[in-house]
Structure 1
Amino acid sequence: MRKKIQLNPIGSMSLLSQYEVDRLKQSTTNELYRLMRNCCLAVLNSGAEMDSCEDLFAPYQDFDIELLQRERGIKVALHNPPELAFVDGRLIRGVHEHLFAVIRDIVHMSAKYESNGFIDTTDPVQITHIVFDMLRNAEVIKPDLEPNMVVCWGGHSIGNVEYQYTKEVGYQLGLREMNICTGCGPGAMKGPMKGAAIGHAKQRFAYGRYLGITEPGIIAAEPPNAIVNQLVIMPDIEKRLEAFVRTAHAIVIFPGGAGTAEELLYLLGIMLNHKNSEQCLPIVLTGPKQSAAYFESIHHFIGETLGAKAQKLYRIIVDDAPEVARYVRQQQDNVKQYRLNTGDAYHYNWSLKIESDFQQPFEPTHENVAALNLHFDQPTPQLAAALRKAFSAIVAGNVKADGLQHIREKGLYQINGDVRIMSLLDELLQSFVEQQRMKLPGSEYKPCYEIKR
């Protein structure tokens, strides 16, 4: 095993002043170092299909990373990195790029905001600015390119039939010169990118973008898939979700588990805000005919909790990948016209109103989960926000290091609320378990939650 390798920066990290480099060195506290190390280790395992941060980290206890200050900027030294990241002794180019995306997003941007006393992370306007600034700094926002980013959500734990369908949808989108953004992991996050890459190649489309947006707790359990050519690591799940919806020109949702339900509830809660009633953002739920039961259960849950108005915000298309792509492509003229009429940017949806309840990070402690307001006597968007947090806690308890530790120390999350909502939630989650959507195939699923009726 190689002992040490030094890397020069590439991408947007290649031009730093000595002052910026010095701040990087100073800002690497023990906690920030641990975060940086874990994210870099995940990137070095790009392409590995797993959903356990503990399984990822266990073989690499002797892995280390350090930042080296040089006159020309910053270098990175890797100690005992995984062999998976190398081909014939050379680090894979995409992995090299992603490593510096980690340094950029975890260390450089943290130092930038710590030194800026004018940033108020409780102000919704400034949170939206932070999301924009991080995407701009990562060179995600490209005003000179056609607005054509399709955000694809779906589970990491899907069967082969569903995976092949996600590839077919991606292929059809690629043939129509649409780009793909996902959570960058395996399963439904990989398939659309893989399909689109083939569609782009057939069309000789030279600007194929496969954007992965993640956050520290997720990337450690779901390393980036091999197709991702742009990686952004947002500080928390809420900023990650905001980055998705503000960069999207359409959203396609494949079958998934608790994480996909969290994303859908976040999206519907925002779109149900009366200030967003005129927004033009096509939303499609799709999968092969074998997924019909999944869509029946999720559609029923949405109707019974958030109502018919929420159900009208999306279109369900089953087993028809070309129709999904046609519909998305046809809607793009409406999206552009809406942005033009409102004076909004084509590549970042500033006019989308996102309330504080959807922006403030939710810490999935046992106390916070038990205190969620899961009752009908509140505005529907607020109920959607609370339900989103419940699913966020389940994701944390399933795969995130901190969540797994909480469960070991304090037992299962206790989810309380209206009897009808608890019944619906229990029914939906049980369907996810039965359909093996909570963990990768072959892994035994042990619930991290208990529904209290």
Structure 2
Amino acid sequence: MNTDISEVIIRPEGSLQILSYQEAQQLCDVSDAGLNDLLKRCALAVLNTGASEDDEPTLLNKYKRFSIEVTVKGRGVQLVLKNAPRHAFVDNKLITGIKEHLFAVIRDLIYSQNEVLQNPDLNLESSHGITNSVFHIARNALLMKPNILPNIVVCWGGHSIPEDEYKYSKHLGYELGLRNLDICTGCGPGVMKGPMKGAILGHGKQRYKNGRYIGITEPGIIAAEAPNAFVNELCIMPDIEKRLEAFIRIGHGIIILPGGPGTMEELLYLLSVILHPENQELMLPVILTGDECSRQYFESVMNFIHSTIGPAATEKLEVIIGHARDVAFKMQQNMEEVRQDRKASSDAYYYNWRLKLELDHQQPFLPTHENMANLNLYGNQEPHKLASELRKAFSGIVAGNVKAEGIRQIKEHGPFELRGDPHIMEAMDTLLHSFVEQKRMKLDYSEYRPCYKIDR
């Protein structure tokens, strides 16, 4: 039986109806300077929503005949999809939610390329310029909603988790939804999906009709975390650093559920920001939570943070195990404190301009073997700087696990090497081995091969 749709023509809606010929050419350009390869990879991930593949090479190999072409006709733009996954269609018509996500891919790729990355007025070599670029991309994606009180809760966690942890994330989302709190995640499956699904039920019971289920992703990881069906506001940032900054600029509170190295990357990034001396007084509540079965996971995480960065970091985090209602109630109370903090400082409710980020937090980290080996994983530095270096180490591990370029590097040159203080290296090794034992490193555990080795 044929498993894909041979050809379908889609006509975008809204502003995408009037793409210029130049923009269409960029989206069809297969050269290194063009956007077609990036469009193809992101579009295929969106069309493959709900499937079990969690790495890009597998997805591209399965649908190697897939192609997408953008043409400009007299009456507007057409998308020509060939050999697309059949499960993205109902009666040969593209599912509406997937169609919206596909349009979001085109919108963000074109805008980021032409209005941000190639815009001489946005200095991407400066911290303020990068913060402005994140703002412009988010605003173009209509994520900015003025005159709404703080209520966006960012939920981070793994895309491949046990069923009990997924159920807890749904229950948590339900409790948040009952309190009219909106959800923002990395947009994928697992813990990124559960809170949204639960919040929809909670919002429905409260007759809260304007529920927001915001998904923020980036091209390098979209194949592993394709947008789930509940996302109604999708935004694709150009790289992981801008994605992470978007979370903390747009969100009003952070909830961290169980995950793997990707979740640790997010947590360490967050610590590198909230531990910065200029951010000590800012209100950005952080709660780590999960069901009773995740207690060991959080103990491992907190032990790692305490033994590497120190008590200054663990004091910024609150752990609540097995009480989703308490987490939601506390987050609701925190929203009022965030409102008062923003109002007192005249900062916008919809974008946290006051957060201080170092340029090192914002510039893309390329996890090459050389860069990974040169990370400063030593304790003789300020806590927020050590947290930033540890974040890069976990970023490399994520790349080696799920990103096409990282997987290729591991195949060609072997595992990344990490070096640092013995106690930090031991703590990292212990944590990563606990992730392997808890099956938090890859969806297909039978094929898992560590992409790192620690030089003692």
TM-score range, shorter chain: over 0.9
Per-residue CA shift, 1:132-179, capped at 9, x if unaligned? 101000011111434311100001121111111001000000111111
Out of 295-304 and 104-113, give the one that drifted further.
104-113
- Tell me which residue corresponds to 1:200: 203
How far apart, in 2, do the equivalents of 1:85 and 1:296 lie?
A: 40
- Tell me which residue corresponds to 1:177: 180
Contact 1:171-1:199 at 8 Å conserved across structures: yes
Contact 2:122-2:132 at 8 Å conserved across structures: no
Counterpart of 2:8 (choices 5, 8, 17) is 5
- Tell me which residue corresponds to 1:311: 314
Alignment of structure 1 residues 51-200 onto 2, 5 Å: 51-113=54-116, 115-200=118-203
Contact 1:167-1:193 at 8 Å conserved across structures: yes
How far apart, in 1, do the equivalents of 2:181 and 2:13 lie?
A: 26
How far apart, in 1, do the equivalents of 2:360 and 2:110 lie?
A: 27
What amino acid sits opposite 2:31 in the alignment? N
- By how many angstroms is 1:116 displaced? 2.4
Alignment of structure 1 residues 361-440 onto 2, 5 Å: 361-440=364-443
Contact 1:179-1:196 at 8 Å conserved across structures: yes
Per-residue CA shift, 1:171-199, capped at 9, x if unaligned? 00011111111111111111111111111
Partner of 1:2: helix, strand, or coil?
A: strand
Partner of 2:330: helix, strand, or coil?
A: helix
Partner of 1:216: helix, strand, or coil?
A: coil
- Tell me which residue corresponds to 1:30: 31
Alignment of structure 1 residues 210-225 onto 2, 5 Å: 210-225=213-228
Out of 359-368 and 147-156, give the one that drifted further.
147-156
Per-residue CA shift, 1:272-311, capped at 9, x if unaligned? 0110011101100000111111111111111111111111
Label 1:441 to 1:72 Cα distance change in 2 as closer, same or farther (>3 A): same
Percent identical residues:
52
- Tell me which residue corresponds to 1:333: 336
What amino acid sits opposite 1:22 in the alignment? Q
How far apart, in 2, do the equivalents of 1:254 and 1:196 lie?
A: 16
- Tell me which residue corresponds to 1:353: 356
How far apart, in 2, do the equivalents of 1:203 and 1:11 lie?
A: 31
Structure 2, unmatched stretches of 5+, are none
Aligned length: 450
- By how many angstroms is 1:5 displaced? 1.5
Label 1:138 to 1:443 Cα distance change in 2 as closer, same or farther (>3 A): farther
Partner of 1:317: helix, strand, or coil?
A: strand
How far apart, in 1, do the equivalents of 2:322 and 2:26 lie?
A: 53
What amino acid sits opposite 1:79 in the alignment? K
Contact 2:149-2:339 at 8 Å conserved across structures: no
What amino acid sits opposite 2:298 in the alignment? F
TM value normalised by structure 1: 0.96
Contact 1:184-1:225 at 8 Å conserved across structures: yes
Out of 120-129 and 108-117, give the one that drifted further.
108-117
Partner of 2:378: helix, strand, or coil?
A: coil
What amino acid sits opposite 1:8 in the alignment? R
Structure 1, unmatched stretches of 5+, are none
- By how many angstroms is 1:253 displaced? 0.2
- By how many angstroms is 1:221 displaced? 2.1
- Tell me which residue corresponds to 1:252: 255
- Tell me which residue corresponds to 2:240: 237
Contact 2:158-2:257 at 8 Å conserved across structures: yes
- By how many angstroms is 1:442 displaced? 5.0
RMSD: 1.5
- Tell me which residue corresponds to 2:282: 279
